[in-house]
Amino acid sequence: MFIEPHIKGEKKGWIEVVCGSMFSGKTEELIRRLKRVKIANLKVEIFKPAIDTRFDKNNIVSHDTNAIHSTPVKSSEEILKLATDVDVVGIDEAQFFDKGITEVCEKLAMNGVRVIVAGLDMDYKGNPFGEMPNLLSKADYITKLHAICMKCGDIANISYRKIADANQVLLGEKDIYEPRCRQCAQSND
């Protein structure tokens, strides 16, 4: 599906964004793509925000417990400093990065790097989350994944928060969040 284009012998980069709600398989898809890159013997660097320590301090881990080693970073600018002489850069939980993440991805792509980014496109209220809208507008390829609504069984695109907390960022798992469709997210029960 993603064929690296070559024009006049020059390597061209691009941005792929995998988005959706919690429990939709975003990290699983990111890991799958990055493992294929490693099989192809391409040089890859993988990053995650340092604040995300839910499963592991260093590894990106999916809800299905698949994992791949990554480097935790505190800012998007660190990615540019660490991603030298690579073919592919993977970034998980992009919604937690600072405003510079979009520019970092754009710079990497302009330097011939394939950038694969995963993140929540909406917060628990169903509003755009962090820099994800900007990343989506710059992406060459977008994959939107859906979970299954825990109330009605339809497709879910909302990460419904089961507890009262007004902070946009609240790290948690099934104890705090569940996937819901638009209608069931509004029912609040």
In this predicted model, what pLDDT tens digit does every residue of 122-146 receive, in sequence order?
A: 998 899 999 999 999 999 999 999 9
101 or 1, which is more confident: 101
Question: What confidence score (pLDDT) does residue 1 get?
Answer: 46
Pairing of strands 114-120, 14-20: parallel
- Is 178 inside any structural domain? no
Mean per-residue pLDDT of the chain: 87
| Total count of domains within the chain | 1
- Is 55 inside any structural domain? yes
* Domain span at 64: 6-146
- Is 176 inside any structural domain? no
Residue 158 scores a pLDDT above 50: yes
The overall longest dimension of the chain from CA atoms, in Å, is 58
pTM of the shown model: 0.86
Residue 172 scores a pLDDT above 90: no
Question: What confidence score (pLDDT) does residue 69 get?
Answer: 80
- Is 164 inside any structural domain? no
- Is 162 inside any structural domain? no
Which of 16, 29, 45, 93 is catalytic? The answer is 93
Residue 3 scores a pLDDT above 50: no
171 or 76, which is more confident: 76
Other C-beta atoms lying within 10 Å of the C-beta of residue 169: 13
Phi, psi torsion values for 123, nearest 5 degrees: -85, -170
| Residues 75 and 100: beta-carbon distance below 8 Å | yes
Averaged pLDDT for residues 49-62 = 71
**Percent of the chain's residues with pLDDT above 90:** 69
Of the pLDDT bands very low, low, confident and very high (cuts 50, 70, 90), residue 61 is low
- Is 169 inside any structural domain? no
d(CA 185, CA 99): 28
The domain that holds 59 is classified in CATH as 3.40.50.300
- Is 173 inside any structural domain? no
Residue 93 is a catalytic residue: yes
Locate tokens 């020059």: which residue? 10
- Is 80 inside any structural domain? yes
**Chain centroid to CA 68: how far?**
14
Question: What confidence score (pLDDT) does residue 171 get?
Answer: 61
Question: What confidence score (pLDDT) does residue 6 get?
Answer: 47
